Amino acid sequence: MFSGVVDFVTVVEMGSFTAAADKLLSSKASVSQRVSDLETRLGVQLLYRSTRKLRLTEAGESYYQSCRQGLEHLEHGALAAQQLQHHLQGKVTINSLGGIFAEQWLAPALLAFRQEHPNIEIDVDLSSQREDLLASSFDIVFRMGALPDSSLQVRVLTQLNTHVVASPAYLAAHGRPLHPEELKQHQCVCGTVSQWPFYKGNQKILIPVNGSFSCPNGHILMQAALRGVGLIRTHDMYLREALSDGRLEAVLEDWQVVSQPLWMVFPPAKFRARRVTMLADWLANYTKQHPI
């Protein structure tokens, strides 16, 4: 519908088809044909052509003024979009796993970022189970573990070590497992995973575990372990303090429990707003001073 409009406006402003073609990096014949096609579609003559001079018809003058205004609006819109893309203000929307990560690391990190960049709004959503990563409308999504699709744009924020732990009281009463197979005879408090992977050299085994209590919540798993209910398997975001002060003890440390990456996932956009890139870089640097 708008093919030939830029050619027409350029011809009028440059005063000839030859000069317009040079400016548009096109040929004189192509520019002339597109303007002729535009006249045909409109059903009006826009230009009087002669070998020496071009001039606008009355309809052409009116159409030129309208086109010039329209192109100026488009140019202003493009400039506004570019400024929004690169300007450090606006909103960043985030979807994240909840629990200790969101409460004790992500929230303080985002609040510290906001103090440095008060013109950037941040909207955090913790409904991670309902979010389709490929169709995400969020600017940044945080996920742990394996991702469902390799085409996602991602950055690893950190690697989280995973441990199998129990309270000293539980281990004193039921014994310390020395091989992953022995977990089948123990009370294992599970969250969302009931088969625990272990690695030793080139050997990998997957151990089905069970117990009399389960709950997909890290805080509750910790409470169960501290109360001597059984062994739990979780990452060191939850375990650092309890392992450090002896309230929990790690077992099977010679069997490497696979670490889990914590990802920053981005929608598949060709151009990412500068405020989003800056926040992602800022969070990556923040982890160096404040490990997760």
pLDDT at 201: 85
Q: Phi and psi (nearest 5°) for 109?
A: -65, -45
Domain locations along the chain: 5-86, 90-160+261-289, 162-258
Q: Express each pLDDT in 117-169 by its tens digit.
A: 888 899 998 876 655 656 667 889 898 877 766 667 888 888 888 899 999 99
Q: Express each pLDDT in 8-27 by its tens digit.
A: 988 888 888 989 889 889 99
Number of Cβ within 10 Å of residue 284's Cβ equals: 14
Q: pLDDT-based confidence at 89, cuts 50/70/90?
A: confident
Q: Which residues of 168-182 are buried (b: 16+ CB within 10 A; e: fewer)?
A: eebbeeeeebeebee
Instruction: Give 206-211 contacts, CB < 8 A, sequence gap 24+.
Output: 207/180, 207/181, 207/183, 208/184, 209/183, 209/184, 211/186, 211/187
Cα distance between residue 117 and residue 275, in whole Å: 10
Structural tokens at position 183: 């977990």
pLDDT at 256: 80
Q: pLDDT-based confidence at 97, cuts 50/70/90?
A: confident
Q: What does the H/E/C string look like for 261-286? A: EEEEEECCCCCCCHHHHHHHHHHHHH
Position 292 pLDDT exceeds 70: yes
Position 28 pLDDT exceeds 70: yes
Q: pLDDT-based confidence at 226, cuts 50/70/90?
A: very high
Domain covering 90-160+261-289 assigned CATH 3.40.50.450 in the classification: no
Cα distance between residue 52 and residue 49, in whole Å: 8
The mean pLDDT of the chain is: 86
pLDDT at 80: 67
Least Cα distance to 220 among 210, 235, 232 occurs for 232
Domain covering 5-86 assigned CATH 3.40.190.10 in the classification: no
Domains 90-160+261-289 and 162-258 equal at CATH topology level: yes
Identify the residue whose tokens are 């040929």: 27
Bridge partners (DSSP) of residue 48 are 55
pLDDT at 173: 95
SS3 259: coil
Cα distance between residue 199 and residue 161, in whole Å: 13
Q: pLDDT-based confidence at 273, cuts 50/70/90?
A: confident
Give pTM, 2 decimals.
0.62
Give the domain 162-258 fold.
D-Maltodextrin-Binding Protein; domain 2 (3.40.190)
251 and 176 in contact (C-beta within 8 Å)? yes
